[in-house]
Amino acid sequence: MKGEIAIQREHPTPASEPVDTLSATRPFLRVQGLKKYFRLRGGSFGLAGAYVQAVDGVSFVVATGETLGVVGESGCGKSTTARLLMRLIEPDEGQITLQDRNVGGHNGMSLRTLRRQVQLVFQDSYASLNPRHTMAEEVGFGLIAQGIKRAEARRRANEVLELVGLEPAIFADRYPHELSGGQRQRVNVARALALSPQLLLLDEAVSSLDKSVEAQVLNLLIEIKNRLNLTYVFISHDLNVVRFISDRVLVMYLGKVVETGPVEKVYTAPGHPYTRALIASRLSMDPSRRVEAAPVAGDLPSPINPPSGCRFRTRCPFAESVCSLREPPLEAFGDDPAHSAACHALIPGSGHSRAPAPGGEPSTRANGAPK
Amino acid sequence: MARRTTYVDETLTPQIAGGRTRIQRTYWQAARRRLVRDPVSMGCISILSLMVAAAIFAPWITPHDPYVTSIVNRLKPVGTPGYLLGTDELGRDMLTRLIYGGRISLLMGLLPIAVATLFGSVLGVVAGYFGGKTNMIIMRVADVFFAFPSVLLAVGLAGALGAGVVNVLISLSLVFIPPITRVAEAATTQIRTQDFVEAARATGASAPRIIIGHVMTNVSSPILTYASSLIGLSIVLASGLSFLGLGMSPPLADWGLMLNTLRQSIYLAPVNAVLPGVMILIASVCFNLLSDGLRTAMDVKP
């Protein structure tokens, strides 16, 4: 309540607008062809060494006020994507558009402006707080960096600490080691909120917490989102948490987007074999429905030398020759135009034996898609 | 009896230590408190303060003139009335000379280290924070200096610059810049990759601001600890240079120089000859113990 007055949105957007039409017309964030290859050390005599293809041509949109969940195995490029969005790492290629303004470039949005509008919450609550700073110093640091006076920054720090449920009188002058994991993560959220961003990137923000604490922090995040009309990009490997908090989901595999769509569609009718394996690998609460066999066998292939064509084909039970020849594009399938996947078995006329017939009704997918 | 369960949101309750709320202290207040409670550190601080105070007030507390020689009173043993610690080979009072000697020797210990800490930590933090080519240039230059043993380097530099107090100060400062740079760089490289530095970058803070606000607060304790451990070494090196004739010149009182001139009398008056060495030993041991105490006191672990 108290924080609400101070954290006024410049462009308040009603959260009740339908998400799908919104993402098509006026996305808050649009990412196109984002690419980052990390060069490995080595390579003799000045010859270029190998590259890790961390993020390779990722495109997506985030509508104002929605929560986009990003899931995938460790090493699939989720965190790199978040750091590229914040420009903590410079992308090799790709365009980031924030509210119809390009980020970077000659007449684009400056990094300073970007970082006022987009903030990041890290996974490790301890490593992301300076052990020598009190909580008020830590939260106020960014404000002072943005040119706000010390006393005003302190006042604002107390305000956001209160917003995340930490009584400033008790917590403002404490050091990280004097707080519990959940309290530290609340401070991390407070620090991100201090600059009044509109988009919060949550990189595994609740993953390292105990289950009970995780639930508390999740509820806090939802409450804050509703109160401040925020937009979230929620990165996690925990499928249940993503389903709980997200409106739409983006599934990544080895630096690429393999499936995207509304959360219920993706969870109940997954198209890509990888998504299906991920969903199947979730542990059930019901002991009679326990997972007996591992849905995906083997390890993630090396991102230094990824498989040709479809990157999932080395672990895919339905891989055919076409999968190694051509890379499947991300295309809509099924009855929802917002639900798309990158799999030859779903694209009519792709040459895959399970692909629906060219020109056929989209609903034939039920027969054509691999079971 | 009805069981009542209260659900407490753990993340909202303050941690209470020992049943009472803790008194809040800033980091430096807490570090000072830990240092004051360490008897060894406080003992060293007392001894060193005494030495420094004696050196500063030397003209008022010494019983004799440090430069007036007397052939009659040569090499009087320790305990001679009027000459508490005896006299040297030219009949000058040892106590007076040792107190005056502390002026130069302690200066030789503290000033080069202060200068080297300033330059070394700036170079090291810059190299560590920016990495890449900046790091390579700074650290390779430091490595060149590192290739020589510190004694040899000090002798070489002092030899090239010529004898004299100022030249010794300069050469000792140069000798200690590379090791401090190395420590600062290592500490900074470790801090730079931490999430809180990345979070600070994400708020749009500039590099100098992050270095001052986030890097320095974390690397200052290893740098200060290491630098304080070098003070003893600096005193010994300065004494060594004086002993070799590259430092201070004869009439001046300096512990190293006194050791050098009394060397010829070691069979006649061994106790007198050893006294300057004892002073060097006490001072350097105290600085090293104090450095250990500082490291413990500045450790942030609760």
**Least confident piece of the model among A204-213, A350-359, B57-66:** A350-359
ipTM of the complex: 0.76
Q: Does A153 touch chain B (CB under 8 A)?
A: no
CATH hierarchy code of domain A19-251: 3.40.50.300
Q: Mean per-residue pLDDT for A277-303?
A: 74
Q: Indicate which of B8, B203, B211, B214 best probes the interface with A, i.e. most A CBs within 10 Å of its own CB.
A: B203
Extract long-range pairs of B40-46: CB within 8 Å, 24+ residues apart: B40/B289, B40/B292, B40/B293, B41/B289, B41/B290, B41/B292, B41/B293, B41/B294, B41/B297, B44/B286, B44/B287, B44/B289, B44/B290, B44/B293, B45/B290
Determine the CATH number of domain B46-65+84-298: 1.10.3720.10
Q: How far is A310 from chain B (nearest CA, A)?
A: 34
- The DSSP bridge pattern shows strands A67-71 and A256-262 to be unpaired
Please name the helix (run of DSSP H) or strand (run of DSSP E) that holds residue A156, with its range, or none: helix A150-163
Task: Enumerate the β-bridge partners of residue A53.
Answer: A37
Rounded Cα distance, B122 and B120, in Å: 6
Q: Does B11 touch chain A (CB under 8 A)?
A: yes
Beta carbons within 8 Å of B162's beta carbon, 6+ residues apart: none
Cβ contacts of B203 on chain A, cutoff 8 Å: 115, 119, 141-143, 145-146, 191, 195
Compare all CA atoms of chain A with the CA of B9 and give the residue at the minimum distance. Answer: A216
The verdict on A112 touching B (C-beta cutoff 8 Å) is yes
The reported pLDDT for the residue numbered B302 is 45
Task: Label residue A23 by pLDDT band (50, 70, 90).
Answer: very low
Query: Residue A21's pLDDT band (boundaries 50, 70, 90)?
Result: very low
User: Nearest by CB to B204, which of A116, A179, A183?
Assistant: A116
The whole-angstrom separation of Cα B191 and Cα B197 is: 7
Q: Is A169 on the interface with B (CB under 8 A)?
A: no
* Side-chain half-sphere exposure of B281, counting CA atoms within 13 A: 6
With an 8 Å Cβ cutoff, is B24 touching chain A? yes
The helix (H) or strand (E) run that includes residue A153 is helix A150-163
The whole-number pLDDT of residue B25 equals 62
pLDDT at B74: 76
Report whether A369 contacts A271 (CB < 8 A). Answer: yes
Partner-chain contact A170 B301, CB within 8 Å: no
What per-residue confidence (pLDDT) applies to B185?
92
CA distance B248 to B167: 10
How far apart (Å, rounded) are the C-alpha atoms in residues A181 and A250?
A: 28
- Flag if B199 and A213 touch (Cβ within 8 Å): no
Mean pLDDT estimate for chain A: 80
Element counts in chain A: helices (H) and strands (E) = 14, 12
Per-residue pLDDT, A251: 92
| Spatial CB neighbours of B286, under 8 Å, sequence gap ≥ 6 | B44, B47, B48, B232
Give the domain ranges of chain A.
19-251, 275-284+295-368
Q: Are A292 and A283 in contact (CB under 8 A)?
A: no
Can you tell me the distance from the alpha carbon of A28 to that of A98, in angstroms, rounded to the nearest whole number?
Answer: 6
Give the residues of chain B that fall short of pLDDT 70: 1-27, 300-302
Q: Cα(A250)–Cα(A272) distance, rounded to whole angstroms? A: 12
Q: Do B195 and A124 count as a contact with CB atoms less than 8 A apart?
A: yes
Put simply, whether B206 touches A (Cβ < 8 Å) is: yes
Bridge-based pairing state of the strands A340-341 and A331-332: antiparallel
Does the pLDDT at position A295 exceed 70? no
Asked if residue A129 lies in contact with residue A176, where contact means CB atoms within 8 angstroms, the answer is yes
A129/B196 touch (CB, cutoff 8 Å), yes or no: yes
CB contact (8 A) between residue A142 and residue B22: no
Looking at chain A, the whole-number percentage of residues with pLDDT higher than 90 is 7
Q: What is the pLDDT of residues A233-248, one digit of tens each?
A: 999 888 888 999 999 9
Closest residue in chain B to residue A194, using alpha carbons only? B203
Residue whose structure tokens are 């099924």: A334
With b for 16 or more beta-carbon neighbours within 10 A and e for fewer, the A322-336 pattern comes to bbeeebbebebbbeb
Residue of chain A whose alpha carbon sits nearest to that of B221: A132
Q: Which of B31, B58, B55, B183 is nearest to B110 (CA)?
A: B55
Q: Which of B282, B267, B289, B291 is nearest to B101 (CA)?
A: B282
**Domain coordinates of chain B in residue numbers?**
46-65+84-298
Q: Is the predicted pLDDT of residue A22 greater than 50, yes or no?
A: no
Alpha-carbon separation of residue A234 from A214, A361, B195, B302 (angstroms): 14, 34, 18, 33
- Given a contact cutoff of 8 angstroms between Cβ atoms, the answer to whether B166 and B172 are in contact is no
pTM: 0.76
Q: What contacts A61, CB < 8 A, 6 or more positions away? A: A23, A27, A29, A30, A31
> Tens digit of pLDDT for each residue in A142-178?
888 888 888 888 899 998 998 888 888 888 888 888 8
